Amino acid sequence: MQAIIFCGIQASGKSTFYKEHFFNSHVRISMDLLRTRNRELKFLKVCLQTQMRFVVNNTNPTSEERARYVALARAARYEVICYFFESTSAEALQRNSTRSGRFLVPDKGIYGTHKKLQVPALSEGFDKVYRVKLLPGGQYEVELTEGEEV
Q: Are 87 and 11 in contact (CB under 8 A)?
A: yes
Each residue's pLDDT tens digit, 69-82 = 999 999 999 999 99
For the segment 19-43, the average pLDDT, to the nearest whole number, is: 94
* Average pLDDT for the chain: 92
Instruction: Look at residue 147 and tell me whether its pLDDT is greater than 70.
Output: no
In this prediction, what percent of the chain has a pLDDT beyond 90? Answer: 72
> How far is the first Cα of the chain from the last one, in angstroms, to the nearest whole number?
15
pLDDT in tens, 103-126: 767 778 888 899 999 999 999 999
Whether pLDDT at 27 is above 90: yes
The CATH architecture that domain 2-147 belongs to is 3-Layer(aba) Sandwich (3.40)
Mean pLDDT for the stretch of residues 28-38? 92
What pLDDT score was predicted for residue 150?
58
Residues 81-103: tens digit of each pLDDT = 999 999 988 888 888 778 777 77
